[in-house]
Amino acid sequence: MNSQTKRTVVVTGGTGGIGLQSALGIARTGDRVVITGRDRARGAASRQRIIDETGNPDVALVIGDLSSVAGIDALARTLLEQLERIDVLVNNAGYLGSERQDSDDGVEMHFAVNVLAPWRLTHALLPALRAAGSARVLNVTGGDKPAAVDVDNLQAEKGFKGLMTYTHSKSALESMSMALAGALEPEGITVNVVFPGRASTAMTRSLTLSGLPGMMKLMLPFFRLFFAEDGGKSAAKAAASTIWGATSRDLDGVTGRYFDTSTAERQLHPTALDPQVQAKILAVIESAAPTPRG
């Protein structure tokens, strides 16, 4: 895709897990890669690892926190100061918590990081995305196969259920992504969803008993075995769909689609495509702060 011109690819949450493996794969194509993360020491180590393993020196680190509107806006300002153009934005950063927590803006944290942050960051970075001419946005989902969005439970109003709250927030992300695709299509910016599949990462290994609802608590030993540290092998495998989504010419001009871990196009749950569902998700986002209009 970049045989003539080196592209700039931003990967949020690119300092560990699937994000880091995605950044490694993208860097191997020769593209300029910018990873974001919250921890400077971890980020610096990840940046150096990408350079060392790929031989691509054009790797940058930007520190930022996507858990609040102020943090999102600060990260966007820093990126815009450093980058004239962004050819690909990979909204990879995610959150999985075992206890109910609200952001500084009063938004349930899963919704704040997994839904609000990708929407707001993408809009805030529109000047750089427009400058690319034909930019693409990839939103990385999670959980399981596409499932229904319950608009009356977007912020765990029916009870916090840890892993299930996380999974539902990813369903909301998928619906939001379809709304975002429609909003940005006139700009020539594509938006698609990729599903990496399950992997052992710091996030999945953080799952505790309190993060599992009901009878799922009995499955904790299985989860711990399934997500045991494997040196990044499962994360590298899971990153394949993101790497493909960021680099393949097959996605030129393609928008509003969902691709599974094998990069096959699949259908989203009908609720993700429902304009009324999308409107209710966007209403929650707007209640935190008006969307920036770059």
CB 120 within 8 A of CB 285: yes
Of the candidates 166, 195, 227, 258, the residue annotated as catalytic is 166
- Per the rule left: phi > 0, alpha: psi between -120 and 50, beta: everything else, 254 is beta
Q: How far apart are the first and last CA of the chain?
A: 27
Question: In whole angstroms, what separates CA 168 from the centre of its chain?
Answer: 15
- The yes-or-no answer on residue 166 being catalytic is yes
Taking alpha carbons only, the member of 184, 182, 139, 174 closest to residue 294 is 184
Question: In whole angstroms, what separates CA 241 from the centre of its chain?
Answer: 12
Three-state DSSP string of 105-146: CCCEHHHHHHHHHHHHHHHHCHHHHHHCCCCEEEEECCCCCC
DSSP state of 237: H
Residues belonging to the active site: 166
